Amino acid sequence: MNRFVKLVLIIIIATLFGCANKEVVIDSNQYQHLLIDSAFVKPTNLPQTQDVFVLSKEQQAWLHSHINSESKKSITMQLIDNVLKKDYGAFDYDNSYTRTASETLANNQGNCLSLVIMTVAMAKYLDIPFQIQDIQSAPLWDRHGGLFLLNGHVNIKLMKVKGNQSLTNDYVTLDFLPQGTRRTMRKKAINNHLLGAMYFNNLAADAMVLGDWHRAYWLLRQSIENAPAYSEAWNSLAVVYRHNNQERLAEETYHHAMLLAPSNMNVISNLALLLQSQDRLEEWAVYAKMSALSQFKNPYRYFDQARTQSKQHNHIKAIRLYKKAIKLAPYNDQFYFAVYQSYLKINKPDKARRYLKLAYKQSTTEKDRRRYNMKLNLFVKR
């Protein structure tokens, strides 16, 4: 269960983090013309930045009850062993939506961004120095409706502290990923502001999937307020504009996102799609060539071909194509479930059951885990 944080692409929404190679500082005057508050109705129930990293008084008291200031063990290790259970062993992984610190602790579940937000809140309350890390891994693909979602990953390091004294300059990393996997990944330190921007960008992506463009706009407004140089928020905002027939502004916003992160393939791919829809083929060719490799790595390319074959009752061909999608995205439970369905159609229940088990193993929401488990139980009763 190693699914991560979200980004919008092709019509691609990048749910997660920044692609810039270095910190970019920009003045608000550089982008105010790209924001059109008057075109979007502001919801009354928007979450606020100050609520993201806050634990309730009851949660603070509960946390305090698990820390013994007289213990020989450092405060950091007491937090990890007594509350978080090493690499979040006390929490279930759930990627259905991104939670605040308080929501994550109350539900004992969350995605990697939710868990890092909660850990930041705990570290602040206990005065433990910390470092947040954007993990530079290959993006994970997901799709909802007409939107592709690219998922990234973050984790957090806590300094070993006893009382008010740091014991060493050593940090303990908390992450769902196995330690061996972590060591091979490039990491980039990020600050609380960017983490907050990621949170609001994730919520905006969820709103976009539901077609709630007004809510998405105002959530992206908050993402940009937290980190104006966060390219993915501008990419998502351009997607909002395009879906609301403001193509000139969408194009301007894509170019602004590219200024912040010139190598951001999410933005380049989205801009190419916009130019293609306007029959600006010479300009499109430039960006299409740049984004061609990322498109080739899109597992849904094979998934869609497989579904076509399945509808034509070519189930063997469909299975081969589904397995190509799995090779590119072995974390996607939907692909394994599709293979399960295809094997059932050609009367191979043993192979079908194997892939249903894999779908259960890779599922990232409680709802999907219950659905797969019910089907697995039906196999047992046969």
Q: Output the pLDDT for position 223.
A: 96
Q: Is residue 335 a part of any domain in this protein?
A: yes
Number of domains in the chain: 1
Tell me the C-alpha to C-alpha distance, in Å, between residue 5 and each of 78, 205, 288. 27, 11, 26
Q: Enter the tokens of residue 64.
A: 């305090």
> pLDDT 10s digit of each residue in the chain, 382 long?
334 455 544 455 555 433 333 445 566 667 889 999 999 999 999 999 999 999 999 999 999 999 988 888 889 999 999 999 877 888 888 888 899 999 999 999 888 899 999 999 999 999 999 999 987 665 565 665 566 666 778 899 999 876 555 556 788 888 876 554 455 567 788 899 999 999 999 999 889 888 899 999 999 999 999 999 999 999 999 999 999 999 999 999 999 999 998 878 788 888 888 888 889 988 888 887 777 655 556 787 788 888 888 889 999 999 999 998 898 888 888 899 999 999 999 999 999 999 999 999 888 788 888 999 998 888 765 5
Q: 346 is in which domain, residue-wise? A: 300-381
Is position 110 within any domain? no
Taking the C-alpha atoms of residue 234 and residue 250, their distance in angstroms, rounded to an integer, is 9
- Is residue 92 in some structural domain? no
Assess if residue 90 is contained within a domain: no
Residue 311 lies in a domain: yes
Contact 303, 338 (CB under 8 A): yes
Measure the CA–CA gap between 260 and 272, rounded to whole angstroms: 18
Return the closest-CA partner of residue 48 out of 243, 279, 221: 221
- Structure confidence at residue 264 (pLDDT): 81
> Phi first, then psi: what are they for 226, rounded to 5°?
-70, -40
The structure's pTM equals 0.76
273 within a domain of the structure (yes/no): no
Looking at the domain assignment, is residue 363 inside a domain? yes
User: How many whole angstroms separate alpha carbon 163 and alpha carbon 78?
Assistant: 12
Q: In CATH, what number is assigned to the domain containing residue 362?
A: 1.25.40.10
pLDDT digits (tens, 9 = 90+) for 25-55: 566 667 889 999 999 999 999 999 999 999 9
Identify whether 314 is part of a domain.
yes
**What element of type H or E holds 134?**
strand 130-144
pLDDT at site 331: 80
Per-residue DSSP letters for 247-289?
A: HHHHHHHHHHHHHH-TT-HHHHHHHHHHHHHTT-HHHHHHHHH
- Percentages (nearest 5) of helix, strand, coil residues in the chain: 55, 15, 30
